[in-house]
Amino acid sequence: MEIHPTALVDPKAELGQGVKVGPFAIIERDVVIGADSEIGAYARIDSYTTMGRGCRIFPYASIGSAPQDLKFKGEKSELIIGDGTAIREYATVNRGTEAGGGVTRIGENCFLMAYTHVAHDCLLGKNVIMTNAATLAGHVVLSDHVIVGGLTAVLQFVKVGENAFLAGMSGIAKDIPPFVFASGNTAVLYGLNQIGLKRHGFAEEEISALKKAYRIVFRSHLTKAEALKQARVEVPQLPRVMYFLQFIETSQKGVPRHGSGEK
């Protein structure tokens, strides 16, 4: 371990082999930091935070602080961060609340850029990217490989499906289906996130089937129930197509409409 002499590390914190702690960093009791992780200068890691191996917390980040929720009364809750995740300068991540299950969770290999905020009880999958100053309210779910553009705000309890791309400076008030591109002050959908899907190795057959399913659901002028039924009949029942349709069918907050034009 390599701990700067000005850092304040509680004796009841557990630091793995090879952990580095920079000047004036604060690590409270009941913190677990995995091997080969690095805590930057002036960063603060609050109690009940568990961090995986190879994580990097950059200067002035605040990790595991109490939730910004008026119902929170100081009960024990957790923040769990997966291996290989990087959290940049001035980002803030809050622990969970009893009402939300008590855990905020960030998956492996996520990248939270400067000034991002992850509120209480959020659940982030693997390889999520949040660009500068993107903000998640409480109880938000971001599935694997979601990208959130800079200055985008996501409302409480919103769910975002895998490989979705949320454009910068957007307001996300409804659930965003997997594999799509969403943009706008009150975000609407602009077709599939085709560049992202190709980068992640989606087969042409899958992309073609998802395009057809998207057009039936969002551009056919059928009711949701009619469109989902038609899509299940006309589109090849590939696993990712079924996931796309099921996400829309089971959404509690509803999904945005299709916008004018298509990306």
Q: For a pLDDT cut of 90, what percent of the chain falls above it?
A: 98
**Spans of all domains in the chain:** 2-139, 198-250
Convert the pLDDT of each residue in 118-158 to its tens digit.
Answer: 999 999 999 999 999 999 999 999 999 999 999 999 999 99
- For residue 70, count CB atoms less than 10 angstroms from its CB and return exposed for 0-12, middle for 13-18, buried for 19 or more: exposed
Q: Over 70: is that where the pLDDT of 109 sits?
A: yes
2-139 and 198-250: same fold? no
Question: In which band, very low, low, confident or very high, does the pLDDT at 59 lie, cut at 50, 70 and 90?
Answer: very high
| 3-state helix/strand/coil string of the chain | CEECCCCEECCCCEECCCCEECCCCEECCCCEECCCCEECCCCEECCCEEECCCCEECCCCEEEECCCCCCCCCCCCEEEECCCCEECCCCEEECCCHHHCCEEEECCCCEECCCCEECCCCEECCCCEECCCCEECCCCEECCCCEECCCCEECCCCEECCCCEECCCCEECCCECCCEEEECCCCEEEEECHHHHHHCCCCHHHHHHHHHHHHHHHHCCCCHHHHHHHHHHHCCCCHHHHHHHHHHHHCCCCCCCECCCCC
pLDDT in the model for residue 73: 92
Read off the pLDDT of each residue in 90-94 and give the average, rounded to a whole number: 98
Residue 121's region, left for phi above 0, alpha for psi from -120 to 50, else beta, is left
Q: Over 90: is that where the pLDDT of 52 sits?
A: yes
Read off the pLDDT of each residue in 160-179 and give the average, rounded to a whole number: 98
The model scores a pTM over 0.95: yes
**Tokens (6 digits) for 32:** 């677990």
Q: For a pLDDT cut of 70, what percent of the chain falls above it?
A: 99
Q: What is the mean pLDDT of the chain?
A: 97
Whole-angstrom Cα distance, residue 129 to residue 175? 18
Fold classification of 198-250 (topology level): Udp N-acetylglucosamine O-acyltransferase; Domain 2 (1.20.1180)
Read off the pLDDT of each residue in 106-126 and give the average, rounded to a whole number: 98
- Residues with a catalytic annotation lie at 120-121, 138
pLDDT in the model for residue 261: 58
Class at the top of the CATH hierarchy for domain 2-139: mainly beta
pLDDT in the model for residue 263: 46
Closest CA to 68 of 118, 120, 112, 105: 120
Q: Over 90: is that where the pLDDT of 260 sits?
A: no
Q: Over 50: is that where the pLDDT of 190 sits?
A: yes
Question: In which band, very low, low, confident or very high, does the pLDDT at 30 lie, cut at 50, 70 and 90?
Answer: very high
